[in-house]
Amino acid sequence: MTRFQEKRLAPRLKSIYRDISSFHRIKEDPIEIPRRYKDPLDIEVVGWLTAALSYGRVDLFKKVVDQILALTSGRPDHYLRSFDLSRERNRFRGIYYRLNASEDLLAFVYLMSRILDQHGSFGNLFVSLYREEEEDIGPTLSRVIAKILSFDLRPVYGQNRSRAGLKQLLSSPSAGSACKRMNLFLRWMVRRKEATDGIDFGLWPEIPAAKLIIPLDTHIARISRYLGLTTRKSPGWKMAKEITENLLRFDPGDPLKYDFALCHLGISGACPIARNREKCRVCPLLGACKRGNRLVSLRNYSPTNIS
């Protein structure tokens, strides 16, 4: 990103952060599910489960999360701490989602229970593997995934080998994956509540928000190309890192500050995949967006809501 691009984009990012990151968007976002809970331990459990399944249509994966949460009788943390695999195997039958068969979801929840048994909380696991001297959260995340996958899976699968449907829920930076869903979970857990419009939870103050990597989904990848936040064409860890490094220019302590707003430009249809001159004309990012600038004549354009 050039200095010129940075100068044009800075006030526009500030504008969408102020105007789009509002509570009426939360009901359209996966974070709506963990926000139903008050106990931090329940929020961790529900947050990770929700983030892990956050791919595809929101209404579809929310139904699956709700099916699993219905088994917990409103006490997700207690449910995992008293998890009985033989009892739950039958209860998981018929619960599945796209790439994840019932057995894969059972295995994931079983691994969650094993982590709580060994570490007391998911936060304890992440913090124990975090290294302050490392550039970003990537190496920590790789160690966490390796630790999770080190548990014996024979009680679930009959053999100690992860299946594709489980691995898909536990992607790692070490394999080049963008790790969108784990980075989403980390955003929820790490970013301080008082600094995030109350959207995220800020339960893990030991990990700085500056070390987070953006949850790279199709909306963020596409819009980031329009804004010059990335020059990469293939989504993956390198693209997510490049976007984050450019966002650090706008807030060195909190690069994911704009993630919710940028993502919801895509989710809401305000920034559609198909070219739409009328939507570009009223977009607060117009003037910093390559696609928008090509579609809309800026000769008579007067930006509004930019400070």
Q: What is the CATH number of the domain that holds 21?
A: 1.10.1670
- Provide the domain count of the chain: 2
Q: Do 225 and 179 have their domain in common? A: no
Q: What was the pLDDT predicted at 69?
A: 98
Measure the CA–CA gap between 161 and 172, rounded to whole angstroms: 17
Cβ-contact 136, 207 below 8 angstroms: no
Determine the structural domain holding residue 162 and report its residue range: 33-208
Q: Do 142 and 101 have their domain in common? A: yes
CA distances from 89 to 22, 84, 85 (A): 40, 9, 6
Cβ-contact 53, 117 below 8 angstroms: no
Q: Do 76 and 155 have their domain in common? A: yes
Chosen domain end from 208, 240, 273: 208
Q: Do 12 and 55 have their domain in common? A: no
Measure the CA–CA gap between 130 and 186, rounded to whole angstroms: 12
Buried b (16+ CB within 10 A) or exposed e, 19-50: ebbeeebbeebbbebbbebeebbbbbbbbbbb
Indicate yes or no: pTM above 0.85: yes
Q: Do 46 and 165 have their domain in common? A: yes
Q: Is the pLDDT of residue 100 over 50?
A: yes
Q: Is the dihedral of CA 244, 246, 249, 250 positive or negative?
A: negative
Q: Do 17 and 45 have their domain in common? A: no
Q: What was the pLDDT predicted at 17?
A: 87
- From the centroid of its chain, how far is CA 25? 15
Q: What was the pLDDT predicted at 160?
A: 83
Q: Do 40 and 18 have their domain in common? A: no
Query: pLDDT band at residue 305, thresholds of 50, 70 and 90?
Result: very low
Query: pLDDT band at residue 307, thresholds of 50, 70 and 90?
Result: very low
Q: Do 135 and 278 have their domain in common? A: no
Chosen domain end from 154, 185, 208: 208
Share of the chain above pLDDT 90, in %: 84
Q: Do 146 and 77 have their domain in common? A: yes
Cα dihedral 183, 187, 189, 195, rounded to 10, equals 170
CA angle 243, 244, 245 (to 5 degrees): 95
Q: Do 127 and 270 have their domain in common? A: no
Q: Do 183 and 140 have their domain in common? A: yes
Q: Do 41 and 190 have their domain in common? A: yes
The per-type count for the chain, helices as H runs and strands as E runs, is 16, 0
Chosen domain end from 208, 243, 274: 208
Question: How far does the chain reach from its first CA to its final CA, in angstroms?
Answer: 21
User: What Rg do the C-alpha atoms of the chain give, in angstroms?
Assistant: 20
